[in-house]
Amino acid sequence: MDLAEATRQRPARLAIGVIGPGRVGSVLGAALERAGHSVVAVAAVSDASRARATERLPGARVATPAEVVAAADLVLATVPDDALAPLMRGLVDTGAAVSGKLIAHTSGRHGYGVLAPATTAGALPLALHPVMTFTGRAEDATRLANCTFGVTAPESLRPIAEALVVEMGAEPIWIAEEHRSLYHAALAGGANHLVTLVSESASLLASAGVEQPERMLGPLLSAALDNALRLGINGLSGPVLRGDAETVAEHIAELRTHAPESAAGYTALARLTAVRALAAGLLKPHDAERLLDVLQA
């Protein structure tokens, strides 16, 4: 059976299996159940995963990965990135019935190529990456319905991949297979490093005697994020934009004294900010030259 024929024959409502029903898998399984599908089996190893499966997917039986595949039309392989390829090889090597089954992973890093062992054995591969952080708390389900998914699949399976995302209440955004690593680097740099930057700012404010740094940072950072999303680099403010080289030099000196581990990061980001501001015409060339001299010291 080729992919096009499999797509035409796919039933409207799916029996779903989840391998790794942790923070992500349990939420996606529950979202698909709300859309009318049925989670029939889960493969859970840790106590935390078993607890989430019991809470969020109470109708599913706990089974081995091969049994999950056998019972399902769609398998959600929601395991860590590095475990995906070994999982697929293991399923195929042990004779799991992957042929004709939709197998979807939620890794941002990988496209559908990581599922190659199962695809070669007849599986129908999908990469469905929810662009959202998952905390394991109840609000994860609400956040899922307001996010986007990075979707990658063979062209013949694209309608199925996008329809599944829409059924979960989210928006599918197509990402080419060859762009998955760049796509994921962009997301990790924005979201993960943002947490680091905010927590570091709060720590430095506390060192400066501010008792509730989050109250001071909240309005400022909310406005900065809104400006960045709406205006891009044109939403920039602060000493780099003004060309205040002496202020930036003083910042670096203070950080080297009180938080030396932060100085290199501040310098690198200030340099990137100056370069982008110069390219956008927001920073005058002579101001940029003075700033870059300070930032190379």
Which CATH superfamily groups domain 3-175?
Answer: NAD(P)-binding Rossmann-like Domain (3.40.50.720)
Q: pLDDT tens for residues 177-226?
A: 999 999 999 999 999 999 999 999 999 999 999 999 999 999 999 999 99
Calculate the alpha carbon distances from 275 to 72, 203, 224, 246, 278 in Å. Answer: 52, 27, 19, 18, 5
Better-scored residue on pLDDT, 181 or 297: 181
Domain ranges of the chain: 3-175, 183-295
Better-scored residue on pLDDT, 116 or 45: 116
Architecture (CATH level 2) of domain 183-295: Orthogonal Bundle (1.10)
For the record, the structure tokens of 158 come out as 């694209």
Calculate the alpha carbon distances from 151 to 28, 84, 136 in Å. Answer: 14, 17, 23
> pLDDT at position 11, please?
47
Q: pLDDT tens for residues 43-100?
A: 998 888 888 888 899 999 999 999 999 999 999 999 999 999 999 999 999 999 999 9
> pLDDT at position 81, please?
93
Please compute the mean of the pLDDT values over residues 277-289 and round it to a whole number. 96
Give the confidence band of 297 by pLDDT, cuts at 50, 70, 90: low
CATH topology agreement for domains 3-175 and 183-295: no
- Is there a contact between 128 and 75 (Cβ–Cβ < 8 Å)? no
Containing H/E element for 77? strand 74-77
* Helix residue ranges, H only, 152-296: 158-167, 180-207, 213-231, 239-242, 245-258, 260-279, 285-295
Compute the distance between CA of residue 105 and CA of residue 149 in angstroms, rounded to an integer: 12
Compute the distance between CA of residue 79 and CA of residue 83 in angstroms, rounded to an integer: 6
pTM equals 0.86
